[in-house]
């Protein structure tokens, strides 16, 4: 669960970076922050869903 929370925090920081860099018109940084937001956000949500689905983690039997 710690991993998913870490990924979620990183995704939120990337979301802030997207808006900050859009104000500066730095679209190269917006692209990297956007890709990072999508990747880390996806892994955070997928990890949380898998944690809930398997009942607390571990390998299903």
pLDDT of 58 > 90? The answer is no
How much is the pLDDT for 56?
73
Q: Is 40 a domain residue?
A: yes
Q: Is 61 a domain residue?
A: no
Q: Is 59 a domain residue?
A: no
Q: Kindly give, in sequence order, each residue whose CB lies less than 8 Å from that of residue 45, ignoring residues fewer than 6 positions away.
A: none
Nearest to 13 by CA among 44, 51, 50, 46: 44
Q: Is 60 a domain residue?
A: no
Q: 18 pLDDT band (50/70/90 cuts)?
A: very high
Total domain count, the chain = 1
32-50 tens-digit pLDDT = 999 999 999 999 999 889 8
Q: 61 pLDDT band (50/70/90 cuts)?
A: low
Nearest to 7 by CA among 43, 53, 49: 43
Q: Is 14 a domain residue?
A: yes
46-57 tens-digit pLDDT = 988 988 888 776
Q: Are 37 and 14 in contact (CB under 8 A)?
A: yes
Q: Is 42 a domain residue?
A: yes
- Domain extent at residue 44: 2-53
């Amino acid at each position: 669960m710690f991993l998913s929370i870490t990924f979620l925090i990183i995704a939120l920081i990337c979301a802030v970076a997207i808006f900050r860099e859009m104000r500066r018109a730095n679209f190269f940084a917006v692209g990297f922050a956007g890709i990072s937001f999508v990747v880390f956000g996806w892994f955070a949500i997928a990890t949380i869903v898998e944690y809930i689905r398997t009942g607390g983690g571990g390998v299903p039997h």
